[in-house]
Amino acid sequence: MEGLRYPPAGLTRAQLLEIRRLKARMETERMPRGSDPRGNTKLGPGGLSDVEWVVQLIQLQHAGRHPELRTPYTMAALHAAEVAGLVAAEDAQALADAWVFASRIRNAIMLLRGRASDTIPTDTRDLSAIAQILGYGKGESSLLVEDHRRRARLARQVMDRLFWGSGD
């Protein structure tokens, strides 16, 4: 069963292209209409989904030869990929920072609203409350948005290289 899940030789070119097609389709179909993708912690560029797709692709490509990648935990798999030399330290750091920060934002939204949401609030009172939950001072909610966008932008740059193969 492990050989099926984690092929010893990694993915074929056709499999890689199909995975990329699936991700591209998901990016166009799953984003809620009318929303700003940059404010979506899960599906936006550099969001949770991007990081998870990168890590899972690395697992599919390399876990046949690197059993330490065989974990369902995104951060553990990312760390294992870095230790194995499959991901540069600065790329792993960018992905981890974006994933952890987006997760913290989602958790803060859950604390505030009592229900899950992937969208950073645009309402100034809600945004201010989220920022304060995350340790920002009063009036610093724009810093929260800037910090999220910076982390997401860096993670998306890594994804563009590692997942989409830009620069290959």
85-92: long-range contacts, CB 8 A cutoff, minimum separation 24:
86/58, 86/62, 87/58, 87/162, 91/158, 91/161, 91/162
Mean pLDDT value of segment 97-122 = 96
Looking at every residue in the chain, the average pLDDT score rounds to: 94
Please give the Cα distance from 58 to 131 (Å, whole number): 33
Rounded distance, CA 30 to CA 147, Å?
Answer: 24
Give me the residues paired with residue 119 across strands: 40
Rounded CA-CA distance 68/145 in Å is 35
CA angle (148, 22, 161) in 5-degree steps: 50
- Residues 58, 62, 65: CA angle, nearest 5 degrees: 160
CA distance 157 to 9: 27
Asked which of 3-12, 61-70, 121-130 is least confident by mean pLDDT, the reply is: 3-12
Over its C-alpha atoms, the chain yields an Rg (Å, rounded) of 17
Residue 122 neighbours by CB under 8 Å, 6+ apart = 39
The domain defined by 2-162 folds into Four Helix Bundle (Hemerythrin (Met), subunit A) (1.20.120)
Q: Can you tell me the distance from the alpha carbon of 29 to that of 77, in angstroms, rounded to the nearest whole number?
A: 27
Q: What is the mean pLDDT of residues 3-15?
A: 85
Please give the average per-residue pLDDT across 122-130, as a whole number: 96
At 21-67, the pLDDT tens digits run 999 999 888 877 888 899 999 999 999 999 999 999 999 999 999 99
Tell me which residue has tokens 């950073």.
Answer: 120
Is 133 in contact with 111 (CB distance < 8 Å)? yes
Query: What is the model's pTM?
Result: 0.93
| Span 96-121, average pLDDT | 96
pLDDT recorded at residue 2? 59
Please report, for the chain, the start and end positions of each structural domain, with discontinuous segments joined by +: 2-162
Alpha-carbon span 91 to 87, nearest angstrom: 6
User: Which phi and psi (to 5°) does residue 40 adopt?
Assistant: -100, 115
pLDDT range class, residue 68, cuts 50, 70, 90:
very high
What's the pLDDT at 7? 83
Q: What is the pLDDT of residue 99?
A: 98
Q: What is the mean pLDDT of residues 133-145?
A: 97
